[in-house]
Amino acid sequence: MAAPPVIELDDVSLGWRGRIAVRGVSGAFRRGSLTAVVGPNGAGKSTLLKGIVGLLNPLKGHIRLADDPRRDLAFLPQANELDRSFPITVYDLVAMGAWRRVGAWRRFAGEEHERVEHALEAVGLSDFRNRIIGTLSGGQLQRALFARLVLHDARTLLLDEPFAAIDRDTTEDLMRLLAAWHEEGRTVIVVLHDQEMVRARFPEALLMAGQAVAWGPTESVLTLENLHLARHLCAGDYL
């Protein structure tokens, strides 16, 4: 029996300032699935994730979430969207992952401190807890952001290009975390450009080109025909 949908898209179009970046997407992410969202630059991949997490309202159609997005959904935006000049420590950045569980004014109990330490250890940053985030390398910052996801402990995770501009060792370490979340039955949706990684590590894929070109098992999505169509759609050849 197929797993129930955790996110359903019904003829969803998204955009801003009169520009449509995603049009007419319908389909579902199943509970416990591990899906890569792929496509050329300008294909609407990041826009789609922002629509799912509520940062953009659909211009058309509906997005239905099976779980409470305030508690059960976590979003990791692209690293360049984080203000690294803000003087916050690695520890405090990771601790922000507990905000929805602890609240704005409740005392941060010893149990939460232990969770932060566990998350730092899980990403190899135990010795960096007191570093200001502006002093971190790109890979170290991404490890810290993954630790924040560990602390959030959401059942559905959406990540936008989490491996961009980081070293191979960091990528492998963080990919193991993604695989572990998937094995725990969490739903994981990741925007990626590395098709080799997608073919090797992601059983499901959604190929975007301003619309859904193909969605399903990775081997049936990343065909030469579909990739060719996606490139032409993004170039405007068939629109």
Which residue ranges form the domains of the chain, and what is each CATH number?
1-67+188-239 (3.40.50.300), 70-154 (no CATH)
- CB atoms < 10 A from the CB of 86, how many? 11
pLDDT at 103: 61
Match 């997407």 to its residue by tokens: 25
Q: What is the pLDDT of residue 79?
A: 80
pTM for the whole thing?
0.93
Report in angstroms the alpha-carbon separations of 56 from 62, 63, 152, 174.
12, 11, 22, 27
Residue 14 exposed, middle or buried by CB count within 10 Å (0-12, 13-18, 19+): buried
DSSP 95-148: HGGGHHHH-SSS---HHHHHHHHHHHHHTT-GGGTTSBGGGS-HHHHHHHHHHH
CA distances for 233 relative to 23, 47, 176, 230, angstroms: 12, 17, 34, 5
CA–CA separation, 216 vs 154, rounded Å? Answer: 24
Token pair in block for residue 172: 């492998």
Q: Which residue has the higher pLDDT, 111 or 192?
A: 192
Which of the pair, 31 or 102, is modelled with greater confidence?
Answer: 31
29 forms beta bridges with 7
The answer on pLDDT for 60 being more than 90 is yes
11: left (phi over 0), alpha (psi -120 to 50) or beta: left
User: Would you say residue 51 has pLDDT above 60?
Assistant: yes
CA–CA gap between residue 48 and residue 21 (Å, rounded): 9
Residue 158 confidence (pLDDT): 98
With a cut of 60, say whether residue 18 has pLDDT above it: yes
User: Are β-strands 19-30 and 5-16 bridged in parallel, bridged antiparallel, or unpaired?
Assistant: antiparallel
Residue 102 in this model has a pLDDT that exceeds 90? no
The per-residue pLDDT for 174 is 96
Which of 132-136, 184-188, 223-227, 233-237 shows the lowest mean pLDDT across its residues? 233-237
Sequence length of the chain is 239
pLDDT at 239: 43
More confident residue, 3 or 147: 147
- pLDDT-derived band at 63 (thresholds 50, 70, 90) equals very high
- Has residue 238 got a pLDDT over 50? no
- Among 78, 90, 217, which residue's Cα sits nearest to residue 159? 78
Are the CB atoms for 191 and 159 separated by under 8 Å?
A: yes
Supply the Cα-derived Rg of the chain in whole angstroms: 18
Q: What is the mean pLDDT of the chain?
A: 92
102 or 114: which carries more pLDDT confidence? 114
Give me the mean pLDDT over the 78-82 stretch: 82
The per-residue pLDDT for 17 is 82
Residue 2 binned pLDDT confidence (cut-offs 50, 70, 90): confident
